[in-house]
């Protein structure tokens, strides 16, 4: 037999205010009530809002909580899950919020049903089923928000582990540590291009000493990064190519095109400087000619802070 | 009929694309540029795309073709100001525009053009 | 999957391709995509909209805000009643083009999206759907 929300809607229209009041009271009176975590006023407000949304949604007749008519109710439960998690409640605490409504509604159904046991049973099944699904939805929502936190932390970790360093004016270095999968590559490209815009660097050295293996995919990711930097007017040099990696690249037939590769970051840096028309020379010792006055020969005292 | 303005600065042509181009407008620009290169004996073309929020395969191809055509007409083309999000998307799309010289901004682009033109003059030898 | 909002646009000319880009950009901003994700879906939309005009003889696109399992996304469905694609696998290959283009339209749109579906019947038309999740 198909479930519908007609009885529920009827009950809420008839005595919505009474039901909400009794529900709030039963929650406050229950052993699980956390007066330290949530105020009576807040509990009352949440209960009223939930029941009013349920009343609206039940007007459509369907008990399928995934349908668009239940969207507002789902959203409220999602927000409730998140805020209760912040307040220190466990996921089952939030689900209990929904389940606790069952007792109050069951009482109302039994009163309504009077001496019609079949009507009472149907009513209990319909309403019970609906509230079960809504209660479970809150635990799912809680789970998802935890997962989102984890994903966000992973993202931050990826960003932290791919710093872009300014080696010299106009020269950036990007030491890649760990595997270069497609998610990581996105982060790497974003950081590198952002830094190119900020510093106006024209040369970027991508050091892959910390990348354990280079397969065809990794090579593709590297080439993508190089291509993206090129589009922003910066040339890339890939350094940190170990002998094994060189072998893999040749065996896989990866075409590095015109990208310059160097075994060490130092070699790559030397090339970068040369490109910029710079060179490193030894500092010359300067011999000061002493003047004949005494002043110059007195030691200057340093003021220590 | 709408057209994108091409400015002449000595031996250089400067184009700043500021509208979301439909395909026909892009083609008109390409035609206009090649005509202008010839008519003004331009040695360098600078295309500023810093206002473009998106470059798809058609526009990308237009840029690539323009650069190639200009070279045939003895002029150098530099595309400047590509936004990071556009560069990343273009590469993901599968376009690397390897035949196109690029620079971060107009100033760098002009430096690059002057350098390239000087190089070509030297390698061409005395005429 | 639930559909929260739906927009419909005809695509007959290259100007329409531009307005599709702009509509998609607007929706993408509304959903809260970051800049790179916005650019990706707008670019994919541009490719597919162009295909609709050039190969499909014109058609339309449905832009939908969708929700599934708590995550929100944007779904675009491009439909035309043109000549269809006889060999979809071939058409999806990089560089393959029947119109003198670069051949990156379909394969590119796939690379730029989280989900990609294509259905084509020669002589009847083509339908391409892409989804990007937030």
In chain B, what are the domain boundaries? 6-124
Nearest residue, CB atoms, C2 vs list A68, A78, A141? A68
Confidence of residue B14 (pLDDT cuts 50, 70, 90): very high
pLDDT tens-place values along chain A, 305 residues long: 457 788 888 888 888 889 999 999 998 888 777 777 788 888 899 999 999 999 999 888 888 888 888 989 998 998 888 888 777 778 888 888 899 999 998 888 888 777 778 878 888 888 899 999 999 998 888 888 778 778 888 878 877 777 899 999 999 999 988 888 888 899 899 999 999 999 999 999 999 998 888 888 888 899 999 999 999 999 999 999 888 888 888 888 877 878 899 999 999 999 999 999 988 888 876 555 554 554 555 554 444 44
CA nearest to A110, candidates A38, A11, A20, A22: A11
Number of domains chain C contains: 1
Distances (CA, A) of B109 to A180, A232, B81: 32, 11, 9
Note the pTM of the prediction, 2 decimals: 0.73
Give the pLDDT confidence score for residue B65 in this predicted structure: 95
Give residue B71's pLDDT band: very low, low, confident or very high (50, 70, 90).
very high
Which element (helix H / strand E) includes A299?
Answer: none
Q: Is the dihedral of CA A121, A124, A130, A135 positive or negative?
A: negative
The CATH number corresponding to A165-275 among 3.40.50.10420, 3.10.580.10, 3.40.109.10, 3.30.750.24 equals 3.30.750.24
pLDDT tens for C28-48 read 999 999 999 999 999 999 999
Distance, in Å, from the CA atom of A44 to the CA atom of B87, rounded to the nearest integer, reads 53
Give domain B6-124's CATH number out of 3.30.750.24, 3.50.50.60, 3.40.50.720, 3.30.390.50: 3.30.750.24
Q: Distance, in angstroms, between B98 CA and closest chain A CA?
A: 8
Nearest CA in chain B to A229: B87
**Taking the mean position of all CA atoms in its chain, how far away is CA C80?**
12
* Helix/strand/coil for C59: strand
Q: How far is CA A82 from the centre of its chain?
A: 14
Q: How far is C2 from chain A (nearest CA, A)?
A: 7
Identify the residue among B79, B93, B96, B99 best suited for mutation to test binding to A, counting A beta carbons within 10 A and taking the highest: B96
pLDDT at position A301, please?
Answer: 47
User: Contacts from A264-268 at CB under 8 Å and sequence distance 24+?
Assistant: A264/A239, A264/A240, A265/A173, A265/A175, A265/A205, A265/A207, A265/A209, A265/A239, A265/A240, A267/A239, A268/A205, A268/A207, A268/A237, A268/A238, A268/A239
Residues 6+ positions from A291 with CB-CB distance below 8 Å: none
A144/A138 Cα distance (integer angstroms): 10
Q: Band of the pLDDT at B125, cuts 50, 70, 90?
A: low
Domain span at C50: 2-133
Structure tokens at C54: 């050039």
Which chains are adjacent to chain B, needing at least 3 Cβ pairs under 8 Å?
Answer: A, C
| Distance, CA of B75 to CA of C125 (rounded, Å) | 44
User: Which CATH number is C60's domain given?
Assistant: 3.30.565.10
Interchain proximity B57–C18, CB inside 8 Å: no
Residues of chain C with pLDDT under 50: none
Which of C72, C60, C41 is CA-nearest to residue C127?
A: C60
Domain A6-153 has CATH 1.10.490: yes
Structural domain boundaries in chain A: 6-153, 165-275
**Which residues contact residue B2 at a Cβ distance below 8 angstroms, ignoring those fewer than 6 apart?**
B25
Handedness of CA A235, A240, A246, A247 (dihedral sign): negative
- pLDDT at A287 (0 to 100): 58
């Amino acid at each position: 037999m198909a479930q519908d929300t007609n009885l529920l809607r009827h009950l809420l229209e008839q005595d919505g205010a009474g039901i909400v009041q009794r529900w709030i009271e039963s929650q406050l009176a229950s052993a699980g009530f956390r007066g330290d975590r949530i105020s009576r006023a807040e509990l009352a407000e949440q209960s009223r809002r939930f029941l009013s949304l349920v009343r609206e949604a039940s007007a459509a007749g369907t008990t399928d909580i995934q349908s668009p008519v239940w969207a507002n109710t789902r959203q409220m439960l999602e927000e409730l899950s998140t805020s209760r998690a912040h307040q220190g409640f466990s996921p089952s605490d939030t689900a209990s919020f929904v389940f606790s409504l069952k007792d109050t509604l069951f009482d109302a159904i039994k009163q309504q049903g009077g001496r019609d046991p079949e009507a009472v049973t149907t009513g209990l099944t319909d309403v019970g089923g609906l509230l079960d699904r809504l209660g479970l939805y809150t635990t799912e929502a809680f789970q998802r928000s935890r997962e989102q936190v984890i994903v966000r932390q992973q993202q931050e970790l990826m960003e932290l582990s791919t710093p872009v360093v300014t080696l010299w004016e106009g020269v950036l270095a990007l030491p890649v540590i760990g595997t270069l999968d497609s998610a990581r590559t996105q982060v790497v490209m974003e950081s590198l291009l952002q830094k190119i815009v900020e510093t106006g660097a024209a040369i970027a050295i991508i050091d892959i000493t910390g990348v354990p293996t280079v397969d065809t995919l990794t090579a593709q990711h590297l080439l993508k990064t190089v291509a993206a930097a090129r589009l922003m007017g910066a040339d890339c040099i890939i350094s940190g190519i170990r002998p094994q990696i060189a072998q893999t690249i040749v065996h896989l037939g990866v075409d590095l095109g015109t990208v310059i590769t160097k075994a060490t970051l130092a070699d790559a840096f030397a090339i970068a400087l040369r490109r910029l028309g710079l060179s490193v020379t030894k500092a010359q010792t300067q011999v000061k000619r002493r003047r004949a006055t005494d002043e110059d020969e007195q030691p200057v005292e340093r003021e220590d802070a | 009929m709408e057209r994108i303005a091409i400015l002449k600065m000595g031996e250089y042509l400067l184009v700043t694309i500021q509208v979301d181009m439909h395909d026909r407008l892009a083609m008109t620009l390409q035609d206009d540029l090649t005509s202008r290169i010839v008519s003004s004996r331009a040695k360098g073309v600078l295309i500023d795309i810093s206002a473009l929020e998106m470059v798809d395969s058609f526009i990308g191809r237009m840029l690539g073709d323009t650069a190639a055509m200009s070279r045939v007409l003895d002029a150098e083309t530099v595309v400047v100001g590509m936004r990071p999000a556009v560069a990343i998307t273009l590469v993901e799309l599968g376009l690397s525009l390897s035949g196109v010289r690029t620079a971060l901004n107009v100033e760098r682009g002009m430096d690059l053009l002057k350098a390239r033109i000087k190089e070509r003059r030297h390698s061409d030898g005395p005429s | 999957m639930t559909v929260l909002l739906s927009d419909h646009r005809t695509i007959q000319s290259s100007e329409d391709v531009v307005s599709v880009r702009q509509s998609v950009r607007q929706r993408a901003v509304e959903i809260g995509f970051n800049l790179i994700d916005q650019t990706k879906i707008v670019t994919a939309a541009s490719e597919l909209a162009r295909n609709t005009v050039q190969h499909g003889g014109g058609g339309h696109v449905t832009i939908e805000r969708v929700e599934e399992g708590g995550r929100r996304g944007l779904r675009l469905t491009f439909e035309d009643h043109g000549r269809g694609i006889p060999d979809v696998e071939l058409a999806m290959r990089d560089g393959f083009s029947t119109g003198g283009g670069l051949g990156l339209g379909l394969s590119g749109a796939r690379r730029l999206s989280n989900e990609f579906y294509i259905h084509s019947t020669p002589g009847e038309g083509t339908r391409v759907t892409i989804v990007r999740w937030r």
